[in-house]
Amino acid sequence: MSTSPENNSPTDNTPQPDEDAATAGGSATAAEPTTTGEPTASEEVAAEETDATGEAATGTEEPATATMVEPRPGGALSAETFSLVALFMLILTMLSGRLVELFATVSSIGDQQVAAAQVAQLNTQITTSGAMAAITVLFAVLALVLSGAGTRTWARWTATATLITGLLFVAVAVATYVMVPVGVEQPPMMPMG
């Protein structure tokens, strides 16, 4: 346990009322300019108060303190709501698993001939899964557009992460759609017998 007294003096070096009275009643020589050519403390402060253009600061500027902004109340059409909707749409897109599966299927087909009916079915599945990913991106963008200074940070983070992931799914859907081979009409089967 320390027996030394605690340091309770302010750390910003601003004069306290007791110090102001002491300096006002002090010697008059402290306010006189020095003859050594070095600037006095008051001249240094005045030099610091001038801005980059050389004009003296007027003192009407607001202090550079960070003010806490109250969060806006959420609602049905708030950034938080659209951020959560985008997250749920992304979860649906991911859990369906169709885009990744379709991409693997189309990649494995390669140059093989595929029936036109199967190509149409693949295109329908790719379009449906890609549309879900695009709707996810739409809700994430809407959440980011509606966000403001009072929007909660988790809503911005969720919307940004959902936007990036949704864009990746849209890119996979477009790449899969482009890679689908052209369908070949199969001749009708001849009846046996």
pLDDT tens digits for range 87-105? 999 999 888 878 889 899 8
- Report the sign of the C-alpha dihedral through residues 43, 44, 49, 50, in that order: positive
Write out pLDDT tens, residues 163-185: 999 999 999 999 999 998 887 77
Backbone phi, psi, residue 181, to 5°: -70, 160
69-73, 79-83, 138-142: range with lowest mean pLDDT: 69-73
Higher pLDDT, 63 or 86: 86
Statement: residue 125 has pLDDT above 60: yes
19 band by pLDDT with thresholds 50, 70 and 90: low
Task: Give the mean model confidence (pLDDT) for residues 133-150.
Answer: 92
How high is the mean pLDDT of the chain? 75
Statement: residue 73 has pLDDT above 70: no
118 band by pLDDT with thresholds 50, 70 and 90: confident
Q: Are 181 and 113 in contact (CB under 8 A)?
A: yes
pLDDT of residue 112: 81
pLDDT of residue 136: 95
Q: Which three-class secondary structure state does DSSP give residue 32?
A: coil
Six-digit token pair at 19?
Answer: 């110090």
Does the reported pTM lie above 0.85? no
Do strands 183-184 and 114-115 pair parallel, antiparallel, or not at all (unpaired)?
Answer: parallel
